[in-house]
Chain A
């Protein structure tokens, strides 16, 4: 017997070699495959459901934002906020929609005017209450304040500057009424900063979207209404146009806030001027480099929100 031939018997301790059974193949391939298919199916379903939110038209959002039912309004606001924060094609199309932006701007102006009137009336009503009761009484206006805040944030996501004049109006409002006004002014300036950044991105949109937006602005700019004025100003911020030198230009209006009594508002103004360049804005920035911190820093309390 040749002692050098290798032995075909398995070494001690190792399992016997056998071909894979059908059950083994099912456990190895079919079960994992089914798990992966279920997970992918869930992901596709989720995508479909979210895209169905994105695909809604501007008219759908406007009609539901105007609903008498507050639940419907706030759910629609939540959906719209999610859509505006995305960078999908349908979201970008919505954010370049001039008519939608103008409709929302009109609602912001109306809501803000109503809120200012309500705050003035409320201030007269609570004069005789104690300080603590006065603080708690402002909660009644929270819903209206949240609505204005939501509209400002939404309009800051658009790629056209139609909301800029109204945001400037809010930012320049007299803040002597109450801390809630100071918060609103700060939010307006921050919204302008974000809007300025998004308006700069207009040139990166698809050419057909840019052409459509420019045409819509031209159509809306005809007339003597406030809405036409907003469209005209927004048209001056399209690539190639120049708003420089106009007192209505955003940098000119922001530059008036260098005199604001709230130091934090002045800091936010400097930040916002980075996205609205212009000669008056530049002069305002140079002035702000000599800021001495004067004024009273308004510390916000729960009643102000």
Chain B
């Protein structure tokens, strides 16, 4: 025969065990969420040297022009600089041409618009004496370009294809540590692959 005291003690023990089990479960969920957040944290700052340190490398005044200018160094500097003035207009026109499925789409501009680092340089401004980067705007340029490429591809008759260097850039973006960029690039990659089969 079970006494009321021993049955209530057993019920209490059961309650404690259930409570401990739930605590362990919730702790496990919290740890999993924190781990996911830490893994998808933004990438470390670019360790490339600042573009401001390049000009002394470019100038070698010992020889006469054109030998005075190390042209390869100059090319490297241009790859580390923001886009030339008027890029907002050029990018908007390019995106519209892509969305219209135009055959006159300037692919060199599309390539530039997919360059994340270039866009981070474009969206810099001085605020309160500090250089500030508008990362969301820079990322949106890349994302909207990816969408525009997919739209362009969908409007091509059979035979129209995205150039190989653009496809390579899209594949590279599909490995991005930033989830938004990765997902959009993967969608674009699949859209290109589906239409070129």
Contacts and interface: CB of A to CB of B under 8 A. Distances in A.
Interface of A: 3, 11-12, 263-264, 266-267, 270-271, 273-274, 277, 282, 285-286, 288-294
Interface in B89-117: 89-90, 92-94, 96-97, 99-100, 102, 104, 106, 109
B85 A282 contact: no
Interface of A is mostly: loop
Contacts of B87: 293
Contact of A274 (B85, B88, B96): B96
Contacts of B43: none
Given A3-B1, A11-B4, A293-B84, A288 B100 contact: no
B129 interface: no
B56 interface: no
A293 B99 CA distance: 23
B86 A271 contact: no
B78 to A, nearest CB: 15
B88 A263 contact: yes
B97 A290 contact: no
A288 B90 contact: yes
Contacts of A270: 89, 92-93, 96
Chain A CB within 10 Å, residue with most, of B90, B99, B102: B90
Contacts of B1: 3
Given A11-B4, A273-B96, A291-B93, A267 B104 contact: no
A1 B63 CA distance: 120
Contact of A292 (B84, B93, B106): B84
B135 to A, nearest CB: 21
Interface residues of B, number: 20
Contacts of A291: 86, 89-90, 93
Nearest to B105: A289
B100 A289 contact: no
B104 A282 contact: yes
A277 B88 CA distance: 20
Contact of A267 (B84, B88, B97, B106): B88
Contact of B90 (A3, A271, A289): A289
25 contacts: A263-B86, A263-B89, A266-B89, A267-B88, A270-B93, A273-B96, A282-B104, A285-B96, A285-B102, A286-B93, A286-B97, A286-B104, A288-B90, A288-B93, A289-B90, A289-B93, A289-B109, A290-B90, A292-B84, A292-B85, A293-B84, A293-B85, A293-B86, A293-B87, A294-B86
A4 B92 CA distance: 86
B102 A282 contact: yes
B4 A285 contact: no
Shortest 10 CB-CB contacts between residues of A and residues of B = A293-B86, A293-B85, A288-B93, A291-B89, A291-B86, A270-B93, A274-B96, A270-B92, A267-B89, A289-B93
B96 A271 contact: yes
A274 B102 CA distance: 11
Interface in B23-54: none
A293 B104 contact: no
A277 B102 CA distance: 11
A285 B97 contact: yes
A295 to B, nearest CB: 9
